[in-house]
Structure 1
Amino acid sequence: MGFNRYASTGGKEKKIALALRYHQPLTNETSPSLLEKRILEYLDNQKSLGMNIHTIRGQRFYLEVFFKWCMERGIEDPNQMTISLVDRYQKYVSQYRNQVTKKVITPETQNHILISMKTLYEWMQRREYIVKNPCWNVRLVKTPKRIPRNILKVEEVEKMLLVPDLESGLGVRNRAILELFYSTGIRRFELQKLKISDVDLVNRTVFILEGKRRQDRLIPMSERASDWIRKYLEEVRITLVKGPDDGTLFVSVRGGKMDTSRIGEVVKAAKEKAEVEKKGSTHMFRHTTATLMLDNGADIRHVQEMLGHRDLNSTQIYTHVAIRKLQEVYEKTHPSAESLDNTSKNKNVDTQASDTS
């Protein structure tokens, strides 16, 4: 069974799983079960409706958890699932362990797995492939609101930006990548998909075509990022392209579009060489961009538009770490905000005043 090769919900196995084409058979059986056929048909339907390929690959990965569970229990027809079996599956998911770390998966990952099953059955119900939908009452796990902790300081970012070797073409390319991440906070796959035509170096804008949930957006970039992209385009890119040129902005050493994993490695290498001890790679820049903009007075709706968040609640999480204004108010209003030295001086002044009175 194909699932066993990449059953983990994280690490290298997940990267392998997501790299596979979404419609690859789930098993090596010559006569696949009806459940397998429905899952593959569902994924193919999502593609035809225009769903982002990264989202589809993610759904396939989570549905394989469900598929494996069903196969181990002899459930080959979607109609065999009952409300009782759904409850049992929910319990199984709540105890599911990452096969690499051996830790129970996070509540967020549990919900992804449950939602993928629920959405599959809703689709089959609309197609009249099933008599009843046993997943109508699936209960999602309560997830804590996690505050981003890998916000970079400006000094840390600047150290990372200085890492690439500017004497080499790849160094110039990598500097342009880092500058664009820092300037815009775009997602890794959004940067990977960029074409030269998406970047306006005169007006300093970047057009994101079909970002998450297929939302297009036009966002600004810094003059510095624009300058480095111009340098990369004028001096380096032409030396990297091999074969037909499809206009991809950032090109790999093999001459084609860079893999998302390679883009992540560029950021990770810069972080390690700059001795920045924070977890994460490309998303660090996204968190940092949002936090710094809010800290410097940006309207939250402008930050929402910049990041491409559909829900304002996704952006509001950054208000919990953008605390510069809160610190300013605190220092002006809270009695204990003064330093120990100032408190002692004030106490001495008060004592001297009482002695002379």
Structure 2
Amino acid sequence: MKKLKLKEEKHKRLESGFKEWLKVTGYSTSTVNSLPAHIKEFFYWLEQSDLRIESIPPQTLQSYFLYLKQRPRQRRTGALSNNYLLKHLQAIKRLSEYLRNTDQESFDADIVITGDKRKIPEILSREEIKQLYEATEDSPMGLRDRAMLAVYYGCGLRRNEGINLDREDILTDKNLLYVRYGKGNKERYVPMTAEVKEDIESYLLYGRPFLVKEEYEEAFFLTERGERPESQSLNIRLKQLTEKAEINKVISLHILRHTIATHLLESGMSLENIALFLGHESLESTQIYTHIMNNDL
């Protein structure tokens, strides 16, 4: 949208003022940069349609989103995703709020976008997560089970991110996990809560030493043979733990990642911070979790 050129001086001023308002109000850097870009496209569409920002009726907004649904993507083939449209809706709602809060003539942005959203598999409740923890045993493999829950639920790692963890990646002195092989080979640091740190340290002190067979082995997770686990072996172990906890759901390590993201959103964490936590490159990937919030945009 950077190539779009606005003609109306009022639209240019509003775009600039909106961005400054987002910054002063305390929105994240990514939001401060992304929402004005969506607003710029909205203003450009108004100019091309010979419409004005003052007192926009709901049907005008509906027409705008019909245009968005029909226009092609700029970098990929096909139409814009429904979740990307929701980001445009968020921008317009924040614009409406900005106009009201700065005593300018605003408009009603209470519209609904129809269509299928990206769906995520069934997640676990907080009670079911508790049941998983309670199903672990006080043994080396049981301590590894708790560490597995800590890494994949407590820290939200992807399956291979957890499997590729080395002992030196556990920075307990800084309450961080170092993910050196994230998606696209991008590294990141993931914070550990006190509970997560306790479970991981217990495994390192009282579980892993009984599993390690070679002193040079650097893998954090070890099998009973003292080797780094295969890609599916932790999922199989999680399935066994699920059955023991009598949870009637088909879950996987990735479901644990979905679950913590949804629980964080329910607790009030911003999408921007959840995206950083999960290692998402864009908010479009993170917005699948807004289904929990009943159209919170």
TM-score, L = length of structure 1: 0.49
Letter paired with 2:242: K
**CA, structure 1 residues 138+302, in 2 after alignment: closer, same or farther (shift >3 Å)?**
closer
Residue 146 in 1 paired to residue 118 in 2? Answer: yes
- What is the 5 A alignment of 1:2-41? none
| Cross-structure match for 1:8 | none
Instruction: Report % sequence identity.
Output: 32
Letter paired with 2:123: I
| Cross-structure match for 1:341 | none
| Cross-structure match for 1:205 | 176
Residue 238 in 1 paired to residue 206 in 2? Answer: no
Letter paired with 1:148: I
Q: Which runs of 4+ in 1 moved over 6 A?
A: 137-140
Aligned residues: 188
Distance in 2, Cα, partners of 1:154 & 1:163: 14
- What is the 5 A alignment of 1:277-316? 277-316=248-287
**Which whole-Å deviations, capped at 9, do the CAs of 1:228-247 have from their partners, x for residues lacking one?**
11111111212211135231
Determine helix, strand or coil for the equivalent of 2:177. Answer: strand
- On the 8 A contact 1:192/1:258 being kept in 2, the answer is yes
Which residue of 283, 289, 295 corresponds with 1:318?
289
Distance in 1, Cα, partners of 2:217 & 2:293: 40
| Post-superposition offset of 1:263 | 0.8
**Which whole-Å deviations, capped at 9, do the CAs of 1:280-304 have from their partners, x for residues lacking one?**
3111111111111111111111100
Residue 187 in 1 paired to residue 187 in 2? Answer: no
| Post-superposition offset of 1:138 | 8.5
| Cross-structure match for 1:160 | 132
| Post-superposition offset of 1:266 | 1.8
Structure 2 gap segments, 5+ residues each? 1-75, 83-115
- On the 8 A contact 2:121/2:255 being kept in 1, the answer is no
| Post-superposition offset of 1:139 | 7.4
Residue 276 in 1 paired to residue 250 in 2? Answer: no
Determine helix, strand or coil for the equivalent of 2:189. Answer: strand
Residue 259 in 1 paired to residue 247 in 2? Answer: no
TM-score, L = length of structure 2: 0.59
Residue 228 in 1 paired to residue 195 in 2? Answer: no
> Looking at both structures, which has the greater relative contact order when contacts are Cα pairs under 8 Å and sequence separation is at least 6?
2
Distance in 1, Cα, partners of 2:216 & 2:226: 9
Structure 1 gap segments, 5+ residues each? 1-136, 327-357
Distance in 2, Cα, partners of 1:173 & 1:200: 17
**CA, structure 1 residues 315+238, in 2 after alignment: closer, same or farther (shift >3 Å)?**
same
Residue 250 in 1 paired to residue 221 in 2? Answer: yes
- On the 8 A contact 1:185/1:290 being kept in 2, the answer is yes
| Cross-structure match for 1:173 | 144
Distance in 1, Cα, partners of 2:281 & 2:213: 38
- On the 8 A contact 1:163/1:273 being kept in 2, the answer is yes
